[in-house]
Structure 1
Amino acid sequence: MESVKIRNADMAWDIAANIQFPPGFSETLKYPAVVCVHPFGSCKAQTAGNVYGKALAEHGFVAIAYDASFQGESGGQPRWIEDPNQRVEDVSRVIDYLVTLPYVDEQRIGVLGVCGGGGYAINATLTEKRIKAVVSITGVNIGRLFREGFSNYDPLGALEAMGAQRTAEARGGELQVNELLPPSPDAAKASGMTERDIFEATDYYKTDRGQEPGGAARMLFSHAQKTLAWDAFAFAETLLTQPVMVVIGQKVGAFGAFRDGMEIYGRATASADRRLISLEDWSHYDLYDKTEPTGLALQELVPFFKKHLAEKAPSTRKEATE
């Protein structure tokens, strides 16, 4: 694995990324590449990178997982902003970097996202036609989630509160950084927060199972207004033309990945190849790192990427230009 810092001409900060390479990697060859997009509140060292990115590299892809702007080891101030438009732009900036690498075949780039990253991956694919195939793993439309559960089904009230807090901060007040989860599974139980997704998220992010310094599951409250007016799937019927695979678990939780997965699969009618993988015995957070469900997902998505990223013996750079 190689850790890199990405900065394009129009950027004021670096994006921190980890690149994982196939077995026997050689810079003299050309490889397909997959951009791995982490969940809301996560980082590159968690599920998108250390599970799916790692597996994709083992199967012959160059896999790049990165920290979103304002989060993890990436730059941008203030910290912990979750801005959907920026998250989608980050995908394009990472692709801008990939196409400068001599060992990446620019015609064979895919994107994979997990949870909120799945929604961002879908949205990026609508307009970023350098993406040739997309896979959403238990993907969530973060705009829909903010308008519903994350605002206690009071989006207008949330917007008023965000505006008031932003005014207070502009006048020198302290930033309000919201912790999105209880500090531990025991604390979740003690406070009655045992709903499947909340409890399982806590078990992943707040224990040794998945805890990482950059994936702290927190958000700057005052800068989240635009999330409530964002839709990951807008214009999907017209613009989502690339092959798309949607992987969901049938054990339903409050964050809504099952319903969002069913929605985007149903709306992706312009896709060249749309596939729905619905796993009967598994939940949203099972698909983050548990061996059996992630294995079932990989069993489907690896051949999907190999098909649509033109599986073939890597060519030399010289051969590719002849």
Structure 2
Amino acid sequence: MKPVSFRNADMAWDIAALILTPPGFDENKTWPTIIAVHPFGSCKEQTSSAVYGKALAEQGFVVIAFDASYQGESGGAPRWIESPAQRVEDISHVIDYAVTLPYVDADRIGGIGICGGGGYILNAALTEKRIKAVVGITPVNIGRLFREGFSNFDPRGALDAMAAQRTAEARGGEGQVNELLPPCPEVARANGLTERDVFEATDYYKTPRGQQPGGATRMLFSHAQKTLAWDAFNFAETLMTQPMMVVIGQKVGAFGAYRDGLEIHGRATASKDRQLVSLEDWSHYDLYDKDEPVELALDRVVPFLKDHLA
């Protein structure tokens, strides 16, 4: 695993990434390459590299897992902005970097994303045709989630509050940085925050199971307005032409990955090969790092990617 950072001509800051290479890697050969996109509130050291990136590298792929702009070790200010447009543009920037590497086969680039990263990589594939095959692992449409649960089903009220807060900050006030999760599972349980996705996210992000310095689980509230008007799956019926696989768990939680996975699979009618993997006994966060559901997912993901990127 090699840490790198890079800046393209049209970027104002560096992107930090990890490059994972296969056993017997020879940089004088060219390799199929996967761009791995981390979840909302996550970082490259978590599931995108440590679980799926590692497994795909072991199966013969070069994997580039990166931190989103404004997050982790990547640049961008102010910090902790969750910008869907920027997250999708980051993917193209990473591909721009990848195609300069002599060992990356520019005609065999795929993408994989987890949770919000799944929504982002699927959205990127709509217009970024250098992505030849795409996989969403328990993908979440962040725009839909912000319009619903993250705004208490009052998106217009949330937009008014964001507008007021941004004005206050422009006039010198302090930024409002929202912590998205309880500090630990015990506090979540004590406060009745036991809904499956909320509690399991806390168990992943706030314990040694998945906790990493770059996985901040924070969001700058005043800069989230445009997220509420964003849709990961807009124009999917027409523009999702690449082979596409979606993996979801049937244990449903409030963040909505099950319904989002079904939606994009149903809408991507122009895809050359659309596949849905629905795992009966597993939840959204089980698919982050639990051995059995991850293995079940990879049993389908690896052959799919090999078929289309071999």
Q: Same fold (TM over 0.5)?
A: yes
**TM-fit CA distance, 1:6:** 1.5
> What residue in structure 2 maps to residue 314 of structure 1?
none
Cα deviation, 1:100-159, whole Å, max 9, x if unaligned, reads 000000000000000000000000000000000000000000000000000000000000
Cα deviation, 1:12-70, whole Å, max 9, x if unaligned, reads 10000000000010111000000000000000000011000000000000001000000
What is the percentage of aligned positions where both structures have the same residue?
76
**TM-fit CA distance, 1:287:** 0.1
Distance in 1 between residues matched to 2:11 and 2:121, nearest whole Å: 20
Is residue 156 of structure 2 the alignment partner of residue 156 of structure 1?
Answer: yes
> What residue in structure 1 maps to residue 250 of structure 2?
250
Where 2:262 maps in the other structure, the secondary structure is helix
Distance in 2 between residues matched to 1:64 and 1:51, nearest whole Å: 13
Distance in 1 between residues matched to 2:28 and 2:16, nearest whole Å: 25
Where 1:140 maps in the other structure, the secondary structure is coil
Is residue 175 of structure 2 the alignment partner of residue 167 of structure 1?
Answer: no
Distance in 1 between residues matched to 2:41 and 2:99, nearest whole Å: 28
Distance in 1 between residues matched to 2:300 and 2:126, nearest whole Å: 22
Distance in 2 between residues matched to 1:115 and 1:228, nearest whole Å: 17
Is residue 103 of structure 2 the alignment partner of residue 100 of structure 1?
Answer: no
Distance in 1 between residues matched to 2:149 and 2:155, nearest whole Å: 9
> What residue in structure 1 maps to residue 33 of structure 2?
33
Summarize the alignment of residues 172-191 of structure 1 with structure 2, pairs less than 5 Å apart: 172-191=172-191
CA-based RMSD of the aligned residues comes to 0.4
Is residue 23 of structure 2 the alignment partner of residue 23 of structure 1?
Answer: yes
Distance in 1 between residues matched to 2:61 and 2:13, nearest whole Å: 27
Distance in 1 between residues matched to 2:229 and 2:153, nearest whole Å: 14
Is residue 214 of structure 2 the alignment partner of residue 214 of structure 1?
Answer: yes
The residue type paired with residue 148 of structure 1 is: E
Cα deviation, 1:259-315, whole Å, max 9, x if unaligned, reads 000000000100000000000000000000000000000110001000001x2xxxx
Where 2:122 maps in the other structure, the secondary structure is helix
> What residue in structure 1 maps to residue 199 of structure 2?
199
Distance in 1 between residues matched to 2:217 and 2:47, nearest whole Å: 13
| Pairs aligned (count) | 310
> What residue in structure 2 maps to residue 227 of structure 1?
227
Distance in 1 between residues matched to 2:283 and 2:184, nearest whole Å: 19
> What residue in structure 2 maps to residue 125 of structure 1?
125
Distance in 1 between residues matched to 2:48 and 2:296, nearest whole Å: 16
**TM-fit CA distance, 1:216:** 1.5
Distance in 1 between residues matched to 2:18 and 2:245, nearest whole Å: 24
> What residue in structure 1 maps to residue 4 of structure 2?
4
The residue type paired with residue 126 of structure 1 is: L
Where 2:168 maps in the other structure, the secondary structure is helix
Summarize the alignment of residues 83-94 of structure 1 with structure 2, pairs less than 5 Å apart: 83-94=83-94
Distance in 1 between residues matched to 2:220 and 2:34, nearest whole Å: 29
Cα deviation, 1:205-231, whole Å, max 9, x if unaligned, reads 000000001002110000000000000
Q: Name stretches of at least 5 consecutive residues in structure 1 with no aligned partner.
A: 312-322
Distance in 1 between residues matched to 2:65 and 2:166, nearest whole Å: 31
> What residue in structure 2 maps to residue 42 of structure 1?
42
Distance in 1 between residues matched to 2:49 and 2:260, nearest whole Å: 23
The residue type paired with residue 222 of structure 2 is: S
> What residue in structure 1 maps to residue 274 of structure 2?
274
> What residue in structure 2 maps to residue 52 of structure 1?
52
Cα deviation, 1:224-251, whole Å, max 9, x if unaligned, reads 0000000000000000000000000000
Distance in 1 between residues matched to 2:234 and 2:216, nearest whole Å: 29
Where 2:212 maps in the other structure, the secondary structure is coil
Q: Which runs of at least 4 in structure 1 moved beyond 2 Å after TM superposition? A: none
Cα deviation, 1:142-184, whole Å, max 9, x if unaligned, reads 0000000000000000000000000010011111110000000
The residue type paired with residue 234 of structure 2 is: A
